Structure formats: structure tokens, C-alpha cells
Amino acid sequence: AEVVFVDSEAAAGTLAAASIRALITRTPDAVLGLATGSTPLSVYAALAASLAENPLDVSRVRGFALDEYVGLPADHPESYRSVIIRDAVVPIGLTPENIQVPNGDLATIETAGVDYEAAIRAAGGVDVQILGIGRTGHVGFNEPGSSFASITRIKTLAEKTRIDNARFFSSADEVPIHCMTQGLGTILRARHLILLAFGEEKADAIAAAVEGPITSSKPGSVIQLHPHVTVIVDEAAASRLE
Ligand code: F6R
């Protein structure tokens, strides 16, 4: 992977946003792979600021979210459908109808994964996938033990991940136990991966992803199998790299 060291989240956002802007300039109907959580916020903010300063038509851009909680109503404020709309679609000015999120509805859970894969394929695949990484080493919600060939499917969140995500709910107990997540195989099919990480608590996960053995017990290490990966890290997240 190409590892880029930055001294702030804002600088990381500016870099990633410039790459996405260049993609949209070349390909006005580009397919973005969108992540939720705190990590990508600087990217979305920088892209929004760049578009405000120097407009570009993004109305045809398409997007696929990485994951969704199972069992939260889609209109719950912390469903990833709601989060993606609030954090990315609205500030960037994307067309909501062009954005898909895995379906976490229990009634259709058996077919939701295969349907999502088909939708990604029908769109021509993901041009650039934005990724964060969890303390467990997960990308998407592919917790340790996920197959490198996996497709979108239901997974159980690690207890550590539920505790980390409790900040978005009133308690860890309210964080759903299950999720629908793109698989590591799905992520590998995106044409460019941009993995961002900030802070000391991500340092072990970044070292394992970038330099560790390729193993499903460190799902982030899947990036070593991909030909075009950009890792953008601050000093603290980079602190355990060789
Ligand atoms: C989010 C996702 C997760 C997060 C990871 C880091 O869609 O799939 O892999 O990227 O849990 O979360 P933050 O960025 O909140 O530290």
C-alpha cells in the first residue's frame, strides 16, 4: 500500500477529497464506496467545501454504503442509511436516489446480501472505496474471522465494536448485535481503496493491516491483496508501523 502521513484529520480529508474530486471530474457518474463512523467525516467535509468553492456537477454520482445495522428501523437516526444521508449525501449534494445502503430489515435478510452484490455489479463496481478501521481490525463490519472471499452478509458485531459505537446510542446495550456488511471479497473488488485512520487507538490495527501477516484474524490485512490502496494516517495511528 501507499502510506501517506498527514499531521491532521483535516489534511487527510483534503487529500482524499482531491482524489475523489478528480475521479468525478473524469467520470461524472462515478461509483463511490461510502463509510460511516467518525473517520470519513473530514473527507466528506473537504469534498463539500471544495464543491462549494469550485462547483462540479455531482448529481450523477452513485454511492454504496459499506454496512448497516440489522433490526434498526431505516428511519432511526443512527441507522447507517440516516447517517450516510446526514454526513455525506446532504453536505456533498449527492442525489439521494443514487445512494444504496445494505438492507438491514430482518424480513429480507436472507436475500439482502446477494441483492446488494447484484446492485454493485449492475452499477459497474465501486471506483473508490473509503474505509475506516476498527480497533478489532475490522473493515466494513468484517470482524476477525471474516473470509477474504466474503460477500455482503449478516455478521455479529464484536463486543469491542459495540462498546466503541455506544457513543452514538444511549448505551452499549442499544447498539444492535448484528449488521449487514459488504464482505472482504466485495471490498477487494473496488478499484481503489482509501483507508484512513487517526489516533493512537488505531495504531495496532493499522500496523496489522499494513505490515502484519495476511490473516483473517486481522481483517484489515486484506488490503495487502489489493493492487491500489492508499492509506492515510496521522502520526498517532502510524506510531506502530516499522
Ligand atoms: C463504518 C465501518 C467501520 C468503521 C470503523 C471505524 O461504515 O464500516 O469499519 O469505519 O468501525 O469507525 P470510526 O471511524 O467511527 O472510528
CA-proximal residue: ligand 1, atom 4 (nearest): 132
The residue type of 58 is V
End-to-end C-alpha distance for the chain, whole angstroms: 14
The answer to whether residue 209 scores a pLDDT higher than 90 is yes
Q: How much is the ipTM here?
A: 0.99
- Per-residue confidence (pLDDT) for residue 74, from 0 to 100: 81
The DSSP string of 141-166 is TB-TT--TT--SEEEEPPHHHHHHHG
Q: What percent of the chain stands above pLDDT 90?
A: 98
Q: What are the domain boundaries of the chain?
A: 2-234
- Per-residue confidence (pLDDT) for residue 80, from 0 to 100: 98
Q: Which atom belonging to ligand 1 lies closest to the Cα atom of 181? A: 8
pLDDT digits (tens, 9 = 90+) for 66-93: 999 999 988 899 999 999 999 999 999 9
Q: Which atom belonging to ligand 1 lies closest to the Cα atom of 161? A: 11
Output the CATH code of domain 2-234: 3.40.50.1360
Residues in the chain: 242
The answer to whether residue 220 scores a pLDDT higher than 90 is yes
* Ligand 1 pocket, mutate which of 79, 85, 138 (most atoms under 8 A from CB): 138
Q: Give residue 135 CA to ligand 1 midpoint distance, Å.
A: 9
Backbone angles phi, psi at 70, to 5 degrees: -95, 130
Q: Give residue 139 CA to ligand 1 midpoint distance, Å.
A: 7
Predicted TM-score (pTM) of this structure: 0.98
Q: How confident is the model over 37-57, as a mean pLDDT?
A: 98
Q: Give residue 222 CA to ligand 1 midpoint distance, Å.
A: 16
What's the mean per-residue pLDDT of the chain?
Answer: 98
pLDDT digits (tens, 9 = 90+) for 105-160: 999 999 999 999 999 999 999 999 999 999 999 999 999 999 999 999 999 999 99
* Separation of alpha carbons 57 and 41, rounded Å: 21
Q: Give residue 34 CA to ligand 1 midpoint distance, Å.
A: 11
pLDDT digits (tens, 9 = 90+) for 149-207: 999 999 999 999 999 999 999 999 999 999 999 999 999 999 999 999 999 999 999 99
